[in-house]
A and B are shown apart, each in its own frame.
Chain A
Amino acid sequence: MSELLTVSNLTKRFGGLTAVNDVSFSLAPGEIVGLLGPNGSGKTTVLNMVSGYLAPSGGTIALRRQVVSGLAPNRIALKGVARTFQLVRGLPSLTVAENVIAALAFGKRPLWGSAAATEALACLAQVGLAHKAQQSAKDLTYIDQKRMELARALAAEPELLLLDEWLAGLNPTELLTGIDLIRSLRSRGITILLVEHVMDAIRALCDRCIVMNAGRKIADAPTAEALCDPEVVRAYLGDGHA
């Protein structure tokens, strides 16, 4: 099987703290995989290393067998990785459309001018934000900022999309819309690794879950199985419930 993403013995140390400890996993093309774990277990740090934001202290990350660990984020982005951030990062001095054009203009297939404007509108339409394209990004509500961030990630036409708690903070209706949206991405062949705490979303979306605790991988199995794993239950709820 040709793997899209292969993470081998990934380790990240911040001084004396080992945030990610010898983690290995792989993603097949088209999979939606959840990356779970209690707070502080190293999930976001793993995403940060995959996107190039942080350099690993040890281990390797490969995209289609090509080692990318240690490359700058802009080089990794051009290889087909896009992401959203746990704390939404809009570009406040730009309009909503320009936020998306930022990803279009410097991507694998750079677009500019009217072609970029049209494509940006199409990306915004996917997340239901086309009507606010000309607004200033700083005037958006939290939910709309999240939508805009996803549109920006999609504009890069990623093969691998990293979502860091993208569904957190949505109300039940928005959550259903969000789940449908992510599911629709799979039909376009995008592989998704999502860090998430919303269990409904994980059950609805993820074929498989990787669970981390204190920097280590403690489970990697189909979702239902992983969530029942005694060690996973212990990590979340303590010994008495295992």
Chain B
Amino acid sequence: MNRDIVFATAGFVAVVAALASVPVFAGPYGVTLMIGLLGYVTLASAWSLFSGPTRYVSLATVAFFGLGAYTVAVFGESLSYPLLLVVAGLIGLGLAVVVGLATLRLAGVYFVIFTFGLAELVRQLVTWYEVNMTGTLGRYIFLPVTPEGIYWQLLALAALTFVIAWAIGRSRIGLALKVIGDDEVVASHCGIDIARVKLALFAVSSVIITLVGAIQAPRWTYVEPSIAFNPTISFLTLIMALLGGANRLYGPMLGAVPLFLLFEWLSANFPNHYSIILGLLFIAIVFVLPRGVLAFVEEHWTRLRGNDTRAGKGAAE
């Protein structure tokens, strides 16, 4: 078993190192594409940290993402870059704790609607502030960060998210999350403080999402609320995580990579029908693969093998 961990660690380090060398041979388009791809891989993985096991479908992704981007836009001139990321993370943490304390008692569709409303609320608040206080809706971001720099930062964040997800899966808090996802009544009777576990995970997930927004912000040069708080980002994150399977370590990544490439291709080739195709795809995924590709494959695999063993068992009894 220890040997497995050594192999997995070596493989993981090798993959990260290989990805880190991509800017050396890929052109500017390649780097741009990889930035978008890594951004969504990280978003989907961070989303799944909380929403996978608890089955709380959050549409607040873009609230945190946009907040990160806006933090960079607002403080970009006055703070040094590393400090900027720290401040963005702290702001994300603050919002996550406030929102978490207020909403994690909600369940099911109420939570979904609340988080969607939250994203809109944050967008409208920022718009109101910009229009009434600063008098200008858009902001420019001029930071001396190269695309390669952004790429490497996102890669580091993606790797960190992956390690966090792996560590949580093996820890007591990971088990607590699974129990909560299965049956909250049983969870509380086992001695699990449900509110605290959910809040902790929501905070971790939200801070990572905020950082994705903050790191990617300099790519845009110009932001306004409708760009930074575009709800499509929430929906894409959600559907990527669901496609891969939000309960599996590799799930969000397996969903994010093909879907991101597909969306890139669609938006390049069918710019006018993009939204329609996107909507149809959402419906198809939810209907055909409600629990993700990985779960689907696993089920069919065990069913194929299960038929043999079940036949044998029946004969024995």
Report whether A77 and B189 are in contact in the complex, using a CB–CB cutoff of 8 Å: yes
A85 to B186, CA, bound (A): 9
On chain B, the residues within 8 Å of A65 by CB distance are none
B179 and A107 contact, CB distance less than 8 A: no
Contact with B along A61-72 (1 / 0, CB 8 A): 000000000001
A residues with a Cβ closer than 8 A to B are 51-53, 72-74, 77-78, 82-83, 85, 89, 91-94, 98, 101-103, 105-108, 110, 112, 152, 156
B194 contacts across to A, CB distance below 8 A: 74
Residues of B with C-beta under 8 A to A106: 172, 176, 190-192
> Is B183's beta carbon under 8 Å from chain A?
yes
User: CB distance B190 to A156 under 8 Å?
Assistant: yes
Is the CB–CB distance between B172 and A73 below 8 Å? no
Nearest 8 Cβ contacts at the A-B interface: A73-B188, A106-B191, A91-B182, A77-B191, A74-B188, A103-B190, A102-B179, A105-B172
Min CB distance, A54 to chain B, in Å? 11
A51 to B187, CA, bound (A): 13
Asked if B191 and A103 sit within 8 Å, CB to CB, the answer is yes
Q: Does B185 contact A (CB under 8 A)?
A: yes
- The answer to the question of B219 belonging to the interface, with a C-beta cut-off of 8 Å to chain A, is no
Known contacts A51-B189, A102-B179; 18 additional CB pairs below 8 A are: A53-B188, A73-B188, A73-B189, A77-B188, A77-B190, A77-B191, A83-B189, A89-B183, A89-B186, A91-B183, A92-B182, A98-B175, A98-B178, A103-B190, A106-B176, A108-B191, A156-B190, A156-B191
Q: Residue B193 at the A interface, CB < 8 A?
A: yes
- Of A78, A91, A107, the residue contacting B178 (CB under 8 A) is A91
Q: Is B138 close to A, CB under 8 A?
A: no
Contacts of B188 in A (CB 8 A): 52-53, 72-74, 77
Q: Does B181 contact A (CB under 8 A)?
A: yes
Query: Closest approach, in angstroms, between the C-beta of A71 and any C-beta of chain B?
Result: 11
CB–CB B182/A93 < 8 A = yes
Nearest A residue to B186 by beta-carbon distance? A89
Enumerate chain A residues within 8 angstroms of B247, measured Cβ to Cβ.
93
- Among A74, A91, A98, the residue within 8 A (CB) of B191 is A74
Q: What chain B residues lie within 8 Å of A112 (beta carbons)?
A: 172
User: What are the residues of chain A within 8 A of B183 when measuring CB–CB?
Assistant: 89, 91
Least CB separation from A91: chain B residue: B182
- Hey, what's the 0/1 contact readout for B158-192 against A, CB within 8 Å counting as 1? 00000000000000100110110111011111111
Q: How far is the CB of B301 from chain A (nearest CB, A)?
A: 14
Q: Provide the residues of chain A in CB contact with B191, threshold 8 Å.
A: 74, 77-78, 103, 106-108, 156
A-B contact pairs, 28 of them (CB 8 A): A52-B188, A53-B189, A72-B193, A77-B188, A77-B189, A77-B190, A78-B191, A85-B186, A91-B178, A91-B182, A91-B183, A93-B247, A94-B178, A98-B175, A101-B175, A102-B176, A102-B187, A102-B190, A102-B192, A103-B191, A105-B172, A105-B176, A106-B172, A106-B190, A106-B191, A107-B191, A112-B172, A152-B190
Chain A residues near B187: list those with CB within 8 A: 74, 102
Pairwise interchain contact B189-A82, C-beta atoms closer than 8 A: yes
Q: Which of B172, B179, B189, B192 is the one whose CB lies under 8 Å from A94?
A: B179
Would A53 and B192 be within 8 Å (CB), given that A94-B178, A98-B175, A101-B175 are in contact? no
Residue in chain B with minimal CB distance to A108: B191
How far, in Å, is B309 (CB) from chain A's closest CB? Answer: 12
When C-beta atoms are compared, the residue in chain B nearest to A162 turns out to be B189
With a cutoff of 8 Å between Cβ atoms, the chain A residues found around residue B186 in the complex are 85, 89, 91, 102
Q: Are A74 and B172 in contact (CB under 8 A)?
A: no
- B188-218: CB near A (< 8 Å → 1, else 0) gives 1111111000000000000000000000000
Q: CA separation between A110 and B171, bound complex, in Å?
A: 13
Cβ–Cβ contact A74 & B193, under 8 A = yes
Nearest Cβ on chain B to A146's Cβ, whole angstroms:
14
Minimum distance in angstroms from A136 CB to a CB of chain B:
10
Q: Chain B residues with Cβ under 8 A from A73's Cβ?
A: 185, 188-189
Question: Which interface residue of B176, B181, B188 has the most chain A CB atoms within 10 A?
Answer: B188
